[in-house]
Amino acid sequence: MSNSSSISHFLLLPLADTRHLQLLHFCLFLGISLAALLANGLIISAVACGHLLHTPMFFFLLNLALTDLGSICTTVPKAMHNSLWDTRNISYTGCAAHLFFFAFFISAEYSLLTIMCYDRYVSICKPLHYGTLLGSRACAHMAAAPGPVAFSMLCCTQPIHFLCPYARAMPWASSSVKSHTSSSSPAHTPNAGNLGSLS
């Protein structure tokens, strides 16, 4: 008789053990997310409504604010939910989605920051060619580039953990699960340091 187990969810390490500190962390996460949403919302509305700000630099800043909103909305709500409701579980697909979208938005932000550096380089070192090198079509192509670049970076640099069988894809998570063949051996109880738990 074979004994096998599969990973259905992960246990996240809590930031604090006491309820008061968990509520303090929730308020801290809420304040940070509201400040980031307000700041990025102001940048987006100012660039979209201000006709004097329709330049390549502010166009890239608008795209950077949008990707920053995406990265904030990927991770902070789950942390707020865990702190408020005192939960530690995250599903396997939820973990995969968080990892994918967070890495995607961070890679897109790095690509946009690189493009913004090139924009500043052209405006300072080649001011007479600025309109030619960074026209509206070139800006649109540059603003659309971070999405495919981030996706290709994820496909090339990240191992495809979430498409493989659980045990082979994540030996670090399945190594803490012991195989029990006799009925007299105690059942495995995951502690707070284990990433995986038994279903």
Residue 179 has a pLDDT of 43
- Hey, where are the domains in the chain? 11-165
100-158 pLDDT, tens digit each = 888 888 888 888 898 889 888 988 998 888 888 888 788 888 888 877 877 776 666 55
- Name the nearest CA neighbour of 69 among 94, 34, 98, 26: 34
Residue 4 has a pLDDT of 65
Q: Is the pLDDT of residue 23 over 90?
A: no
pTM (global) more than 0.85: no
Residue 39 has a pLDDT of 93
- Name the nearest CA neighbour of 108 among 144, 161, 62, 138: 144
Residue 154 has a pLDDT of 67
Element holding 172 (H helix, E strand): helix 171-174
Residue 175 has a pLDDT of 41
39-92 pLDDT, tens digit each = 999 999 998 898 888 888 888 899 999 999 988 888 888 878 877 787 778 887
- Name the nearest CA neighbour of 105 among 76, 84, 80: 76
Looking at residue 195, what DSSP letter applies?
Answer: S
Q: Is the pLDDT of residue 8 over 80?
A: no
CATH of domain 11-165: 1.20.1070.10
Query: Could you tell me which residues are beta bridge partners of residue 7?
Result: 198
